[in-house]
């Protein structure tokens, strides 16, 4: 039931920006875009979320297109510790169902 | 702030046996979730509690799985009897309220022989 499409895998050089795309072409007006990541053998970790505007926190930036049909998670200076599976999720603001899909496996290369 | 605590970290049982997992959410978090994550897949929601009441258990296989959250704090998830296809990581998460970001524990890895 995942409402998002992500590339299965990506590589990024250490110290460079990692740009992870997500397509959510059927997103509704009241649905938020959430990003989580899961490092091996750990539970998913919340990164960031947004509705319409671009968002930034200490971990990452979230860029949402004007039509809201896609978004990009940006890790500005990737480190080896950022190697993980990244999940893009859409969720209604009145509900709490999270459909994780299979995510993007990001490998940061030294 | 202490995170979501889960135990045990690993469990190995034979099929048809019973097993229980325990979760202690972040203090003050009203909403608690149990997820099942099969190898190579994303987590799948099994059941969601708001305080000690069930909000959504539509994905819970109720013939063998049960969960409770007595007093609206700790929660246990039980499988009885276990099947081979129940081999997975069982994740617990909590959020301050419905609609808030969820915070996950590191899960219990269950292997069925």
pLDDT of residue B100: 86
SS3 A58: coil
Could you give the CA distance from residue B9 to residue B89 in angstroms, rounded to a whole number? Answer: 9
pLDDT of residue A95: 61
- Which of B10, B42, B60, B102 would best serve as a mutation to test chain A binding (most A beta carbons within 10 A)? B42
Nearest CB to A43: which of B44, B101, B106? B106
Quick: pLDDT tens for B17-50. 999 999 999 999 999 999 999 999 999 999 999 9
Residues 6+ apart with CB under 8 A from B22: B6, B7, B74, B75, B76
Tokens at residue B92, please?
A: 């617990």
Nearest CA in chain A to B105: A43
Quick: pLDDT tens for A10-26. 999 999 999 999 999 98
pLDDT band at B2 (very low <50, low <70, confident <90, very high): confident
Give the Cβ contact number of residue B23 at 10 Å. Answer: 26
Average pLDDT of chain B is 94
Q: Which of B19, B7, B11, B16 is nearest to B78 (CA)?
A: B19
SS3 B85: helix
Quick: pLDDT tens for B74-95. 999 999 999 999 999 999 999 9
pLDDT band at B66 (very low <50, low <70, confident <90, very high): very high
**Residue for token digits 């490092």?**
A39
pLDDT of residue A94: 62
List residues in chain B touching A: CB distance below 8 A: 4, 31, 33, 40-45, 48, 55-56, 91, 93, 95, 98-99, 101-107
Contacts of A2 in chain B (CB under 8 A): 42
Please judge whether A101 and B101 are an interchain contact, meaning their C-beta atoms are less than 8 angstroms apart: no
Radius of gyration of chain A (CA): 13
pLDDT of residue A80: 97
Contacts of B103 in chain A (CB under 8 A): 46
Could you give the CA distance from residue B72 to residue B50 in angstroms, rounded to a whole number? Answer: 8
Nearest CA in chain B to A43: B106
Low-confidence ranges of chain A (pLDDT < 50): none
């Amino acid at each position: 039931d995942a409402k998002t499409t992500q590339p299965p895998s990506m590589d990024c050089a250490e110290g460079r920006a990692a740009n992870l795309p997500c397509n959510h072409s059927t997103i509704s007006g009241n649905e938020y875009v959430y990003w989580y990541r899961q490092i091996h053998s750990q539970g998913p970790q919340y990164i960031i979320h947004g509705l319409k505007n671009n968002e930034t926190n200490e971990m990452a930036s979230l860029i949402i297109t004007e039509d809201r049909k896609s978004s990009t998670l940006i890790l500005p200076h990737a480190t080896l510790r950022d190697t993980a599976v990244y999940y893009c999720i859409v969720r209604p603001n009145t509900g709490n169902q999270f459909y994780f899909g299979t995510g993007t496996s990001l490998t940061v290369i030294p | 702030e202490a995170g979501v605590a889960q135990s045990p970290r690993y469990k190995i049982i034979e099929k048809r046996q019973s097993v229980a997992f325990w979760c202690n959410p972040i203090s003050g978090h009203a909403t608690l979730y149990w997820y099942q994550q099969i190898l190579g897949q994303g987590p799948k929601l099994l059941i969601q509690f708001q305080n000690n009441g069930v909000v959504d258990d539509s994905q819970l296989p109720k013939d063998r799985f049960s969960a409770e959250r007595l007093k609206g704090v700790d929660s246990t998830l039980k499988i009885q009897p276990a099947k081979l296809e129940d081999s997975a990581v069982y994740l617990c998460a909590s959020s301050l309220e419905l609609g808030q970001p969820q915070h996950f524990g590191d899960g219990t890895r269950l292997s069925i022989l």
